[in-house]
Amino acid sequence: MIPVRMMRKMVWERSMNKLSRGLSSSQIRKPRPPSLVSLDLIDEWSSTFTHSHSPPIQKSINNDSARIIDGRSAAEEIKSSIAVEVSRMKESIGKVPGLAVILVGQRRDSLAYVRNKIMACHEVGFRFSIAELPESCTEDDVCDALSNYNKDASIHGILVQLPLPQHFDEGKILNVLSLEKDVDGFHPLNIGNLAIQGREPLFIPCTAKGCIELLLSSDVEIVGKRAVVIGRSNIVGLPTFLLLQRHHATVSIVHAYSENPEIITREADILVAAAGVPNLVRGSWLKPGAVVLDVGINPIEDPESEHGYRLIGDVCFEEAVRIASAVTPVPGGVGPMTVAMLLLNTLEAAKRALCFT
């Protein structure tokens, strides 16, 4: 009889040999000792997928254009209610919620996110602080900034703008973050409690929370429906998968190594696209009448734009509106709701810290 450890090692070696065929060395991280965990392959859609074997595009079962799910108006309603609570807090105890952001480098999408968060904080009356660090900084620099905000009683929520440059260990950095101030919901304990039935995280990751809020506010039935999440990042894909399960959907994840992903997505009543690839999802990927949430925010060069670029999603919007029953635009869909959920989490953190009800 072959010992379990030896059998595990044999399976791991066979899997690594199979997965490494046709992959560049940059796609495969340094192998870890054999274990039951995954092999840590980097998702690179452009090198592993081409649009092939796609059937003709079918129109929506209603023969109408899809309903546009307006994330901006939903977010504005939430922000208005937050502003009322902040005013009440300021009048009652003389304090307001404080949010701090740690930004490393100058990624265009990260700059856009942070800019939106600053404006949103000013709109609702939050205190805002930002620590901007160069891409060349060290992990210790980031951890020092985190530690300072952890100790600052006027800061109730802290987020590290992700993704960080590749040479950083995100897990190590997030472990430094105070659980009570983890308003992005990425602390291992928050994610772990989201995954375990019967437990509640202190905070739910903002984009996943925003997606569910949009579905609920749009009267989209989730229970029992087939949902597909494209992308498996710790930021969006994984928490969205977990939260859809919490709402009793039957959920699948599609990633860069999924075979024939369009076949899987065509079964989805609810599709969440979060791969970070412009126009990855074409009309032929969609089930007629599906509800499509486009999380992708991809900067495309545009000299005529104020910032020199414009943002498009992971879903080909022009094709999706012909097949889906409802779809979020980019910008103006999931993005504003993500910011609104961040504000809501920060308000909850401040109320908890200040014992304010």
Catalytic residue ranges: 117, 161, 184
User: 321 with 354: CB under 8 angstroms?
Assistant: no
Q: Considering only CA atoms, which of 245, 284, 289 is closest in space to residue 265?
A: 284
Contacts of 128 (CB under 8 A, 6+ apart): 98, 99, 100, 101, 117, 118, 121, 122
3-state helix, strand, coil in the chain (%, to 5): 45, 15, 45
CA distances from 222 to 216, 228, 266 (A): 8, 12, 17
Burial of 93 (0-12, 13-18, 19+ CB in 10 A): exposed
Enclosing H/E stretch for 252 = strand 250-254
Rg value, the chain, Cα:
21
Residue 261's Cα: distance from chain center in Å? 20
